[in-house]
């Protein structure tokens, strides 16, 4: 009898855990539902996604909408634009930010604190504030509707500089000094000692920049009006405005836009989350 | 020795500082100057049409009912959407924290996926789900015996629809931060509390919550900053409608500046947004310091 009574807390704990896990998995299903439906609807024959009663599974799975995207809508070009711009932005931001972050962490100079405070203050300024004059500036350069115009704001970022700076601080000065004693120039020290040691944070910054550029919407929307130069999100937005009725076609282009981002995240999840946390924990 | 390092430092900093100054700081300051002028489509054609308005521009702004509408909508989104996002994120983090080790990473990934989904792609799906007749949400409502709602077509519901979408899209980001903070709480604190006879609620109230405070204030700050920049959701789902019910400050700036070429007016909207963010950031960090 007493043995049964002792079991009550254990049973209560088991039940509580059962309910918690049930809620968590149902919640997960709810969170994933729109993304799953997006994929399923993209394979439905035209009109089926707007049928009543609604259906989850395509009656006859088809790839016809994907074929339309690449043939008559030329979304392949937009896919290439997105990919090229994200890769270029990643390369450029890695160069600028790693140099600057390393200098702020490892090369003491008069005025370093002031540069640091200046950059810190910029974190409060929302990116949209300068967009109108930047547009006029790029227009005077003839950079509107060019890849350069899209890339310019992602050359360097305060967030990226801080990410590298915080990480580079953990590099022991002795390692750098050893290279200097061997007669290496500062650039050489950076390139062959500092940079390899910063690799993990560079991976993080790279994933952040790639995803950020891939998913970016407002700036590419402003700069790129020529349909053949637009990125996928911009092309998708104009498609969504013109083809309101073609739900299945829109879902196919949404899948095309989403899948590379999700795939990169799944592969590089650890580095990505590390980036979020290094921002949050240093605060 | 130190000279070479100083020179190297400035050379290393040069690309980043040049880019930031030329393409960010410069334009931000130029926007302030532009906001005092009537720079518009006629100025683009012929710069002699430019007139200095000074503060009159901001007076025009304050008299514009559309600006007040956009400000009100943005604040609604910041306060209601922001707090809902934080609450859902905290709830999800606490639940995952209590789950079995084996499933924690899996659940975290699942809940995080909307964050990395391209916002336009996700908005297109949600727009279909919000459809008044065939949208899945209304099918569910009718199935439950409730009247269907024209989510995106009714001014009373449109902002709520945008908020629900953005909570789904964003809570995973903050959840990850909460989860990391929860996992960094030392076990000994709970053991000590349990020895003192603290109930589960008391442990939550007196151990978990205080330990979460730094993460909480960070999350609140970035949620507020992010929410003030609301743009893509209404742009794709409602175009600011119906009856301007989802017109946000950034959307107002975009329309004036980039669609109607009222550049001066658009720049003024941008600077109002900036000023609001500065005030809110300073207030929040002052509150944070006082608690410490």
pLDDT tens-place string over residues B138-150: 888 888 988 888 9
**% of chain B with per-residue pLDDT over 70:** 98
Task: Write the DSSP string, B108-143.
Answer: HHHHHHHHHS-HHHHHHHHHHHT-TTT-HHHHHHHH
Contact A250 B124 (CB under 8 A): yes
pLDDT in tens, B253-283: 999 999 999 999 999 999 999 999 999 989 9
Per-residue pLDDT of chain A (283 residues; tens, 9 = 90+): 455 666 777 888 889 899 999 999 999 999 999 999 999 999 999 888 888 788 888 888 889 999 998 988 889 999 999 999 999 999 999 999 999 999 999 998 888 999 999 998 898 899 999 999 999 999 999 999 999 999 999 899 999 999 999 999 989 999 999 988 888 899 999 999 999 999 999 999 999 999 999 999 999 999 999 999 999 999 999 998 888 788 999 999 999 999 999 999 999 998 888 888 876 655 4
Residue for token pair 């025009």: B60
Query: What DSSP state is assigned to residue A229?
Result: G
* A207 and A120 together in one domain: yes
Could you tell me if residue A59 is inside a domain? no
In Å, what is the CA distance from B12 to each residue of A105, A181, B18, B194, B227? 12, 21, 11, 54, 35
Long-range CB contacts for residues B213-217, cutoff 8 Å, separation at least 24: B213/B291, B214/A283, B214/B181, B215/A280, B215/B177, B215/B178, B215/B180, B215/B181, B216/B86, B216/B90, B216/B178, B217/B284, B217/B287, B217/B288
Contact B139 A53 (CB under 8 A): yes
Could you tell me if residue A54 is inside a domain? no
Q: CA of B169: which chain A residue's CA is closest?
A: A31
Residues of B in contact with A218 (CB under 8 A): 231-232, 250, 254
Residue for token pair 């450029």: A92
**Of B275, B235, B237, B225, nearest to B255 (Cα)?**
B235
* A10 and A140 together in one domain: no
Average pLDDT over every residue of B213-239: 92
* Sequence-distant (≥ 6) Cβ neighbours of residue A121 within 8 angstroms: none
Cβ of residue A95 closer than 8 Å to a chain B Cβ: yes
Instruction: State the pLDDT at residue B45.
Output: 80
Q: How far is the C-alpha of A92 from the C-alpha of B177, rounded, in Å?
A: 28
Alpha helices in chain A (DSSP H): 2-41, 64-71, 75-106, 112-122, 131-141, 147-151, 158-168, 173-181, 186-189, 195-197, 199-215, 218-223, 232-242, 247-267, 269-281
Q: How far is the C-alpha of B117 from the C-alpha of A230, rounded, in Å?
A: 19
* Sequence-distant (≥ 6) Cβ neighbours of residue B142 within 8 angstroms: B148
* A16 and A134 together in one domain: no
Domain interval for residue A12: 2-41
Contact A187 B133 (CB under 8 A): no
Q: How far is the C-alpha of A215 from the C-alpha of B226, rounded, in Å?
A: 15
* A173 and A262 together in one domain: yes
* A180 and A78 together in one domain: yes
Query: What DSSP state is assigned to residue B146?
Result: P
Average pLDDT over every residue of B102-124: 94
**ipTM value for the complex:** 0.91
* A118 and A12 together in one domain: no
As a whole number, the mean pLDDT across chain A is 90
Which pair of structure tokens corresponds to residue A109?
């100079």
How many distinct structural domains can be found in chain A? 2
Contacts A–B by Cβ distance under 8 A? 278
Q: How many helices (H) and strands (E) does chain B have?
A: 16, 0
* A156 and A35 together in one domain: no
Average pLDDT over every residue of B170-194: 92
Could you tell me if residue A236 is inside a domain? yes
Contact B103 A125 (CB under 8 A): no
Nearest Cα of chain B lies from the Cα of A3 at a distance, in angstroms, of 23
Could you tell me if residue A51 is inside a domain? no
Q: CA of B270: which chain A residue's CA is closest?
A: A129
Instruction: State the pLDDT at residue A55.
Output: 82
Contact A34 B125 (CB under 8 A): yes
* A69 and A199 together in one domain: yes
* A71 and A157 together in one domain: yes
Look up the CATH number of the domain holding residue A184. 1.10.3720.10
Could you tell me if residue A47 is inside a domain? no
Could you tell me if residue A27 is inside a domain? yes
* A274 and A144 together in one domain: yes
Could you tell me if residue A121 is inside a domain? yes
Stretch 178-217 of chain B: residues touching chain A, C-beta under 8 Å: 180-181, 214-215
Q: Is the pLDDT of residue B82 over 80?
A: yes
* Sequence-distant (≥ 6) Cβ neighbours of residue A147 within 8 angstroms: A81, A84, A85, A88, A229
* A149 and A100 together in one domain: yes
Which pair of structure tokens corresponds to residue B74?
């943005």
* Sequence-distant (≥ 6) Cβ neighbours of residue B131 within 8 angstroms: A50, B138
In Å, what is the CA distance from B34 to each residue of A131, A142, B268, B269? 12, 21, 8, 11
**Residue B52, SS3 per DSSP:** strand
Contact B16 A161 (CB under 8 A): yes
* A11 and A132 together in one domain: no
Instruction: State the pLDDT at residue A131.
Output: 94
Q: Are A224 and A234 in contact (CB under 8 A)?
A: yes
Could you tell me if residue A247 is inside a domain? yes
Stretch 224-243 of chain A: residues touching chain B, C-beta under 8 Å: 232-234, 236-237, 240
Q: How far is the C-alpha of B38 from the C-alpha of B23, rounded, in Å?
A: 23
| Residue B39, phi then psi, degrees to nearest 5 | -50, 120
* Sequence-distant (≥ 6) Cβ neighbours of residue B91 within 8 angstroms: none
């Amino acid at each position: 009898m007493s043995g049964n009574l002792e079991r009550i807390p254990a049973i209560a704990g088991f039940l509580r855990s059962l309910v918690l896990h049930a809620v968590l998995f149902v919640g997960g299903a709810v969170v994933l539902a729109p993304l799953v439906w997006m994929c399923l609807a993209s394979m439905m024959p035209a009109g089926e996604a707007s049928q009543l009663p609604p259906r989850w599974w395509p009656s006859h799975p088809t790839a016809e909408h994907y074929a339309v995207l690449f043939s008559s809508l030329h979304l392949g070009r937009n896919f290439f634009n997105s990919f090229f711009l994200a890769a270029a932005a990643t390369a450029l931001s890695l160069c600028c930010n790693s140099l600057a972050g390393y200098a702020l962490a490892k090369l003491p100079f008069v005025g370093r604190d002031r540069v640091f405070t200046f950059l810190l203050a910029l974190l409060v300024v929302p990116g949209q504030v300068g967009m109108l004059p930047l547009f006029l500036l790029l227009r005077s350069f003839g950079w509107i509707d060019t890849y350069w115009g899209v890339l310019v704001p992602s050359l360097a970022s305060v967030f990226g500089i801080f990410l590298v700076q915080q990480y580079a601080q953990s590099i022991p000065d002795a390692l750098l000094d050893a290279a200097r004693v061997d007669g290496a120039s500062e650039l050489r020290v950076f390139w062959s000692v500092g940079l390899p040691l910063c690799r993990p944070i560079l991976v993080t910054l790279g994933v952040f920049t790639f995803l950020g550029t891939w998913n970016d919407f407002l700036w590419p929307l402003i700069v790129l009006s020529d349909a053949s130069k637009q990125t996928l999100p911009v092309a998708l937005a104009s498609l969504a405005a013109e083809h309101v009725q073609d739900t299945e076609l829109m879902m196919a282009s949404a899948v095309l836009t989403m899948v590379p981002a999700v795939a990169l995240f799944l592969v590089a999840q650890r580095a990505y989350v590390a980036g979020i946390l290094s921002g949050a924990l240093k605060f | 020795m130190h000279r070479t390092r100083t020179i190297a430092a400035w050379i290393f900093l040069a690309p980043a500082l040049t880019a930031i100054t030329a393409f960010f700081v410069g334009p931000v300051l130029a926007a302030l100057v532009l906001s005092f002028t009537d720079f518009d489509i006629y100025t683009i054609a012929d710069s002699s049409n430019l007139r200095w308005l000074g503060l009159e521009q901001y007076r025009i702004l304050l008299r514009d009912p559309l600006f007040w509408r956009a400000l009100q909508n943005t604040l609604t989104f910041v306060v209601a959407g922001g707090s809902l996002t934080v609450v859902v994120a905290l709830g999800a983090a606490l639940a995952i924290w209590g789950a079995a080790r084996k499933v924690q990473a899996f659940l975290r990934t699942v809940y995080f996926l909307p964050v990395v989904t391209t916002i336009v792609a996700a908005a297109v799906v949600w727009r279909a789900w919000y459809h008044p007749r065939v949208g899945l949400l209304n099918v569910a409502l009718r199935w439950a015996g409730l009247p269907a709602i024209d989510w995106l077509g009714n001014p009373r519901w449109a902002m709520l629809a945008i908020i629900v979408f953005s909570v789904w899209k964003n809570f995973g980001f903050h959840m990850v931060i909460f989860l990391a903070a929860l996992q960094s709480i030392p076990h000994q604190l709970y053991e000590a509390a349990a020895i003192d006879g603290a109930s589960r609620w008391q442990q939550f109230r007196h151990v978990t919550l205080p330990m979460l405070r730094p993460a909480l204030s960070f999350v609140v700050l970035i949620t507020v900053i992010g929410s003030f920049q609301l743009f893509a959701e209404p742009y794709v789902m409602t175009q600011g409608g119906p009856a301007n019910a989802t017109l946000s400050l950034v959307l107002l700036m975009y329309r004036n500046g980039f669609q109607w070429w009222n550049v001066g007016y658009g720049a003024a909207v941008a600077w109002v947004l900036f000023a609001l963010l500065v005030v809110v950031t300073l207030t929040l960090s002052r509150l944070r310091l006082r608690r410490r």
